[in-house]
Structure 1
């Protein structure tokens, strides 16, 4: 903060020195502008606590506007760094696919998301609307908010982050397409974000790992091992950063569950896990989901697990 103003300025120069002063100012202005550009490129233009900052554009075009600060989905959101700020990070050259579960518009397109798609072991509906807290905070809004926070954190480490959807489409994509997005990106790691809809009184998070499947278009054999390592890293860091306990209703207290009925895992050819961040139907877990500070911790915990996995 500057304290200078009209009452603190230097005395006016004498006429004989005007030409020298003009030349000096002409040299200083480009330097000042250059300094400002460097400051902005390094992310200095936005404070770490700015909740409603506009997201910078991705390589494929402008990102959708994020909710303003103060709303459940936008409280405490942070903008992504520019590519120049992350160019030398430890994850430079690594690709992470983040899959925000469901889509806020799915409930308007029930016929589209209800159609059957092939998931390798059988056919299953394209997608669902997801769950919500008793107060109406939707899983799809939660996952999108945490995903955007993760993008900022991972890009700070130099990773290239690809979303399966960013609130930029009216519904979907279907579960098989979500898997193919990660495959096409040749992701080094892929994480699908979710929140559970179990009974009230059941609490905690769990990470879902792909089981061994070799049917139809599904062959998870090559990714079962690395996906387990990814899941173990994510579960450990999520518990440490958020303070949340592993699920008391799934995984036997380990925080890890293996499944063979999820198309997003069955059809993946890259290491991938699902993270169920807690139970939206439990009042205590729901209070966490609607806290911007906790969602930031969730994003940090998952991101740190990904970083740990990628760095070996």
Structure 2
């Protein structure tokens, strides 16, 4: 297994004082995912939870939905480092259970793993609509006060960030605010895949009673992964993209951005936001509009 962190020499300059010292950095290495022996995708990731990462990626691609559809995940025994010193743990093979359809996707066809996939917005939305196994459900209500606690709790649960300052994180919460799981990775999409993959391995999909909290922005890719796992609410500390908002609105997902303290923007799925009695939003004409279930 590769190391999560590595040490590098750094020249440190502080207020005119210069010193040389070792610094702890987050590790970043490529991971090749093979499906039934065929190359499927390559992603840059922080080593750790690689099996969950691969499983979650395949959920996002519509290949897997239940633990029973997965026979095994294993590092490829023949994968060796360039200097011939042994297994690099950077290539793994996922074997599907008999009867599970093998998708017509290979590494040569460049399976997209980033938001810069080149697909137009409509094609991207249609792809999620046609491949998602579960509709977005979940009739719970989230208070702004509860949502406001999630970023700090996510940050407090990051074990490697304190040593490196260079990792994204994703967490699953219950609607009542219970922290279910946290994963870290140099790639925000990988952190989400690790969460979803662990849920698949425990046969917990769809995650219809969960809130996904991410440490960065809410891209279309993250909204797509949430939708494919049946997650009804996505919250981010930074901005969403326009296509992420479109996807959330189309699927019925609640999408919250700029979640910082008690301030936040709700871009879609307002019905899951519980406001105090008498609270509402004003439209462009200054009229008050009730939003979500009201609290007594």
Structure label with greater radius of gyration? 1
Verify same fold: TM over 0.5. no
TM-score by length of structure 2 reads 0.25
TM-score by length of structure 1 reads 0.24
**Higher strand proportion:** 2
**Higher helix proportion:** 1
By relative contact order (CA 8 Å, sep 6+), the higher-ranking structure is 1
